[in-house]
Amino acid sequence: MRFRVLIAASIAFSTCVASLHADVVDPESETLPVLRDLVEPLGEAGVDVLYSHESEPGTSGPSFGDAPRVAPLLGLQAWPGVDLDLDRHGQWLDAFETGARGAVAAVETGGTGARLDRVAFHDVWKDAADGSRVVITFAAADHAIAERVADVLEGHGYAVYLAMAVPEKESLDPAILGRMFVEADHCLAIDTASARLNPIIQFEAELLAELRRQHAWLADGASGLPPVRRGPMDVIESLGMLPIEVVPGGIVLGQRPKLPDDLTGARPMWSGSDFGIEVGGEQHVLEQVSEETRDSIAAFVRIPESHSVVDIAGGSVTLAAPFDGTRIGRRMTTADRKPFDHLSVRGAQKSLIVDEGVTLRRDENGRVGADVTLEVRFYRQDADGHADRLASLRFTVEDATGDARLLDLAWSRRPDHRIGFDGDGVEQLTDDLEQLALDAALIAVMRLGVGS
């Protein structure tokens, strides 16, 4: 699952603004103090600042002046009458992958501003101070406005990354955007009349509100973003944290596979021990599985909102009922213990393994295989009793080689937790989870036969 990240860091300048060139809506509001000292330079660039949506009429929609504006994302609504009945999760992701939406990212440097590429910017973002991260999303039609906003930020001491997919030139990884979207201290949008005509902008605002409500376990973004959706029955209890010193944490496998055009319409198929997909009258075997494994996977995916495979309930580890007493279930409970077997993260009280993406593809010989991305997260309980992410690692098991390929390591913002991820431990953990990645692929494929 790919996701591109867009951010713009919040900054407080000591400069007093004596003359405003931009319009300021609701100037007494303290809703968005982060932009107060940028009002003048943004105004000179032809961009207004909106601090709050509270004063906007609820029925007729906002009134736009001659200039576009930077506005809070929370509370932003599409024009009345715009059709909101769509597959919003999938379309929101697609909007960033196809370049229909993008974002400006920036972090205050305390010195000279600069435009950075994704890799260099990731390091700046990772080490930024609390309160300094901001996401500013925008529609493709407003790309030129976003460039002006980025120029202002760069000119006022920000490290800036303008993230936008360009077909056949630059792609976006939605997983990166997802993490930054949730980690950002301030989420904004470039607000124009044309942007309000797309229902995606309202869903984006609603998504942010939902993530804020569920920040206890979505604080690291990643798989907490669509298309994986977890209902109350499988929000892992351990993410509310338990009065247990250290517990293995849980496994969440909730993906449907991403299909290339030549595999569109694929459905699960099995014959004897052969398990795979059928598409266009052709059958492609992915794996040899026992009848027990096949039937337990089929029963699991038929459970509404089934994602939690291994969970914590009543202070003990529990396994999803369809896997109880099965060989695949024993593999999963063993995999659940592996993060703490191989890695040590100071203060971590639980771990969580999540499938981030499953992609089916054909190789040059026409053989169909699956690439699976897993993320392992480590949490502790904070002073408020919420789950606080300390560290995570993300890797992909590629069907072509069967080997795990490390994608990245992510740390909390507290440098004192950056211990215990030695190279041997990471390699041993990813090796031990390769079978879980295969099981995740089989579950994802079986989901092709359930609903839409």
Residues 331-345: what's their mean pLDDT?
86
pLDDT score, position 151: 94
- As a whole number of Å, the CA-based R_g of the chain is 23
In three-state secondary structure terms, 195 is helix
Q: Quick one: tokens of 411?
A: 């740390």
- Statement: residue 441 has pLDDT above 90: yes
Percent of the chain with pLDDT over 70: 64
Rounded alpha-carbon distances, angstroms, from residue 378 to 259, 387, 399: 30, 9, 26
* Span between the terminal Cα atoms of the chain, in Å: 18
What's the number of CA atoms in the CB half-sphere (13 Å) around residue 420? Answer: 22
pLDDT score, position 304: 62
Pairing label, strands 186-191, 134-139: parallel
pLDDT score, position 152: 93
CA distance 310 to 320: 6
Q: How confident is the model at residue 148 (pLDDT cuts 50, 70, 90)?
A: very high
CA distance 360 to 368: 7
Q: Quick one: tokens of 200?
A: 């995606």
pLDDT score, position 240: 42
Cα 191 to the chain's mean position, in Å? 23
Which string of DSSP letters, residue by residue, matches 152-173? HHHHTTEEEEEE--BTTTB---
From the list 243, 252, 235, 254, the residue with the least C-alpha distance to 377 is 252
Between the ranges 134-148, 180-194, 346-360, 364-378, where is the mean pLDDT highest? 134-148
DSSP letter (8 states) at residue 79: P
From the list 105, 33, 41, 42, the residue with the least C-alpha distance to 72 is 33
Q: Quick one: tokens of 227?
A: 């298309």
Residues 70-74: what's their mean pLDDT?
83
pLDDT, tens only, 223-281: 333 322 333 223 333 344 444 444 556 888 888 899 988 898 899 998 888 998 998 88
- Statement: residue 212 has pLDDT above 90: no
Residues 27-42: what's their mean pLDDT?
65
Residues 95-119: what's their mean pLDDT?
85
pLDDT score, position 183: 73
Lowest mean pLDDT among 184-198, 200-214, 253-267, 293-307: 200-214
pLDDT score, position 182: 66
Q: Which residue has the higher pLDDT, 283 or 59?
A: 283
**Phi-psi region for residue 399, left (φ > 0), alpha (ψ -120 to 50) or beta?**
alpha
pLDDT score, position 146: 95
pLDDT score, position 436: 92
User: What is the identity of the amino acid at 413?
Assistant: R
Instruction: State the chain's mean pLDDT as an integer.
Output: 72
Cα 166 to the chain's mean position, in Å? 20
pLDDT score, position 142: 93
Helix or strand holding residue 292 (H, E): helix 291-301
Q: Quick one: tokens of 101?
A: 């939406």
Residues 414-429: what's their mean pLDDT?
61
In three-state secondary structure terms, 417 is helix
CA distance 64 to 46: 13
385, 426 contact by CB (below 8 A): no
Residues 8-34: what's their mean pLDDT?
36
Domain ranges of the chain: 24-191, 251-447
CA distance 252 to 354: 5
- Statement: residue 143 has pLDDT above 90: yes
pLDDT score, position 141: 92
pLDDT, tens only, 344-387: 777 777 888 888 889 998 887 888 888 998 888 887 776 555 66
414, 408 contact by CB (below 8 A): no
